[in-house]
Structures are given as C-alpha cells and as structure tokens.
Structure 1
Amino acid sequence: MRRDGGAADCGRTAAPVEYRADELAGKAGITVRTLRFYRERKLLPPPRREGRIAWYDDHHLARLRTVIALLERGHTLNTIADLTKAFESGRDVGELLGLGRPTEENPVRLAPEELADHFEGEATAANLATALGLGYIRTEGDVVVHISRRLLEASASLVRTGVPLAAVLDSAARIRRHAEAMVDIFTTTIRAHAADADLARLRPLAKTVVQAELSMALDRGLRADG
C-alpha cells in the first residue's frame, strides 16, 4: 500500500491511499485473477500506471464492492457492465440538462445495489438511462443520488404493485409535460395581471390550486371507473 507524499503536515490534506492489485483484491475478498477479469470486462475504471505498476484507489475499491454486491443479488456481468455505462453517462446528462436540487424535495443517496433492490429486477440499463434523462438520478462517484425521496418511494410502490418501471417512467415524463404547462399558465396569468408580484411568494397558491384540481379530477375518474 502506498500513500503519496507520506504523512500529511498539519493543515494539509492527506494524499489518497493507493493499492497494488494484490492489495485491492485482498481488501475486496477476491483473487487478483478475478480482479483482472473484471477490469478486462470494463467493470472498473483503468488504474493509474507508474511504469509497470498499476495503482488503484478507494474509488476502485468502492466500485469493486458494488460489482460484487450486484453479482450476489443475481445480476449478470453483462447487466452490470450496462449499468456501469449508464451511471457514467449520467454525469454528462446532468450537466447538459443543468439539473439542480429541487427546493422542496429531499434527495436520497444510495449505493447502486440499493437502488437495484428498490425495483426488484427492474433497474435495467434502459430504465436507468431514462431516469438519468429525466433528472431523477445522478451519479456522484460510486453513489447514486435520487433527486426526491417521495418520487423514489412512490415509484418503488408502483413497481411492487405490478406496474413496470418503464411504464412508471413514461407516465412521469408525460406528467411532467402537463405540470410544466400548468406552471406556464400560472406564471403567464400573474405576469399579465400582477407584473410586480413575487412569483416565489405566490408558489403556495399555485400548489393549492393544482392539488385541489388534481384531487377533484381523481374523484371524477374514480367515480367513472366505479
């Protein structure tokens, strides 16, 4: 094991810990041969090379433990490779969309295997790519951040009732379009009749109107189905 620069002086940040292949494999509880196999399958990012020596860090260790945990839950190597690509591409998706944290939602930090457990086999690469595109999830190193605990729990509940996750995400995309249209109606009305009004302060009024209309629409829909 190596620590670049030795012990950190007072007031200085300690250098990251690095491991040789045998040290990393030992920490993960696998053989060096298995480690090399995972690396060849592109389940791990390339190590830093110094001459003929490959150096790994804690990022590699966290990724390796995630791979092992997903394998223990029954995922195949091909599926894990697809998930890895989806998670890594998610960084660029989030940057392109300019997604930030919602002001009234509580984000949830999850290991990839924990996210997979929420959806019981439905956390496919295609579904993850859709969720990334919607801005529901983003990656921070080896951690997945879901943008809203309420949306995560509601989505998982729908999947447990038998609704495919792909259908849940498709519905979410359509609902978002309607929600954005409602926001446009509200802001256009306010600007037309109260140009000096603070839209942020009027947010609770907009939510009240939408929630009341949604509640009444659900009542009408349930009565019609009954």
Structure 2
Amino acid sequence: MTEYRINELSDVSGVSVRNIRVYQDRGLLPPPEVRGRTGWYSEEHLVRLNLITRLLERGYTFATISELLTAAHHGMKVEHVLRDKPKPGRLRNLKRAATITVTELRKSLNADDRAIKLSQKLGLLTKDGAHFAVRNPELLEGAEALVKNGIEVDDLLDRWVNVEQDLADVAHNFISMITDKYLDENLPNLSEGQVAKLAELIQTVRPMAHEIVESTFAKALDTEISRAIAQANKLYDEGAGDGGV
C-alpha cells in the first residue's frame, strides 16, 4: 500500500500542506499514522483529500462536508443528514469548529492541564493559536452539564479512554472475522485481485458493524438507565418509609 509524507501527499493531491493541516484540524481528514517522528498518510487519505477538493469546488462549506463525511463513515445516506434538525445549544450558533479559551475551559469544566491534554488526545479539542477549536460542541455541552452537577471531568475523560480501548477491540473482532479466514487461506500468494476483494469485504463490514454496535449499545444503555432509575426510586421509597425524606 502506497504511503506518503505530508509533502508527498501535497504533491500528488494538489492540496497545499497548509490546507491538509487545516482539514485535519477541522476533522475532515483523519490524522496520519505516526511512526518515529514522521506522519505517514495512506491512499485512503488521498481519496478523502480528492473528495474534499471536489466538494469545495462545488461550493459546499466545511460544516456540510463534515456532516456528509460523517454520514458516509457510518453508512448513512444524504437524506439522513438533511432530515435531522440541529439541536439547540450554547455552541450551536457558533462556527463548526467553535473556539474556547483555556480560561473558559478551567471555568466551565474545572479542567487542569492533564484534562486539557487528554481532551486533545481524544480529539475533543484542537489547538488553534491561543485558543482551542471544539471539534464536537455537543460533547463539550454534555461535559459542562455533568461538571455542573458534580461529576469530575477527569472521571469522564478516563472513562472515555476506556471506551476507546474497548471499541478498538470491538473493531478488531469485526475485521479479523474476514482477515483471519481470508489471509490464512491465501497466504503467502495473495494476488492483486484477492487484495482488492479483501479490501472490498472489509469496507462492507463498516456499516454493518456500526449498526450492530449502535443498536446493541442503545439497548444496553436503556437497560442501565432503567436500572439506575429503579434503584433511585427504591432508595427514595425506603427513605420516605423511614421518614428520612
């Protein structure tokens, strides 16, 4: 598989190095794989860059491109993007990559240096000069709501790290379903056609895996919410019966 340094990617795509970095900061282009001190971009990055260029040439905004790419990533259709109504919120009226200062982060989230660095690593924040660009305003709003109600932001971020690790295992399980069988049966003599077929099968897994994970998680979350509410009601009833409430 062909790999590119950022200057090489710029040459083959016709997109300046500066704009490649802008697209990454905007969340339109995935970050490169860093090995040593060098970031390596793949053919997938080149395809994504060409798509972004075509959409920009047709007059699409960064916000619209981001929504379309997210929809495609999750196996959704354009009508799903157009059908959903924007949710109200403090950051919804700002530009797609809303900015926030360190002072605001410390005030609204009680965020220390560790929390800010971890938020960058997780992709919630991106350094933007003296400020930070907020990659997902809804997540920030949710975090602020939790902090206002006594939840430590460090606890939220640590759980996010755990979920990220768990989902990496989930992703591996789905993809290995194909690679374990396909590669074991064909090594060491994979033809170009077999490699293409393997790539096609792996891409087929994406929307299916996303749907399975999303529906399974929604069901599990509903169960946990119901259990938590039932427990709270039970404690309330016991307290009321004892005259404690």
| Structure 1 length-normalised TM | 0.47
Q: Give the number of the structure whose alpha-carbon radius of gyration is greater.
A: 1
